[in-house]
Amino acid sequence: MENKFKANKAYASRPRWSDWREQLKESELHGLRQRLETMERETLIDWLQWYNPKGNYTDRKCFENGIKPISKLKAIEYTYKEISRIHLKKAHNTFSNGRIQLMFNN
């Protein structure tokens, strides 16, 4: 008899890096634009829609809202900006969580 608990536990304990979208979100900024340029437009739009579900990125949402569909260049630009913001937030949180020592000269 198969142990279903072990099978479910193994599935639940998968690393979060198994998703390509998480990997792209955490990727380095150095060389990122070149990496994005090699990706397909649909893949970039898929990432943008995953990261911001309320955004108008898919062709269907663009048509419903009377907006031109996003070109590949715009998708690259938006993706790069979002990943840059993520890195900036991380750097800010790392700095603000550190200990700050105030020095007063009296």
Does residue 71 carry a pLDDT above 70?
yes
Which residues form the domain of 53?
33-94
Whether residue 13 is contained in a domain is answered as: no
Whether residue 12 is contained in a domain is answered as: no
Report CA-CA distances (Å) from 65 to 5, 17, 51, 52, 74: 46, 34, 20, 16, 17
Predicted TM-score (pTM) of this structure: 0.69
Whether residue 21 is contained in a domain is answered as: no
Whether residue 23 is contained in a domain is answered as: no
Whether residue 90 is contained in a domain is answered as: yes
The 10s digit of each residue's pLDDT in 6-63 is: 555 555 555 554 688 888 888 888 899 999 999 999 999 999 999 999 988 999 999 9
Whether residue 83 is contained in a domain is answered as: yes
Q: How many domains does the chain have?
A: 1
Whether residue 102 is contained in a domain is answered as: no
Which tokens is 37 given?
Answer: 């340029």
Does residue 92 carry a pLDDT above 80?
no
Whether residue 105 is contained in a domain is answered as: no
How open is the CA angle 17-37-74, to the nearest 5 degrees? 100
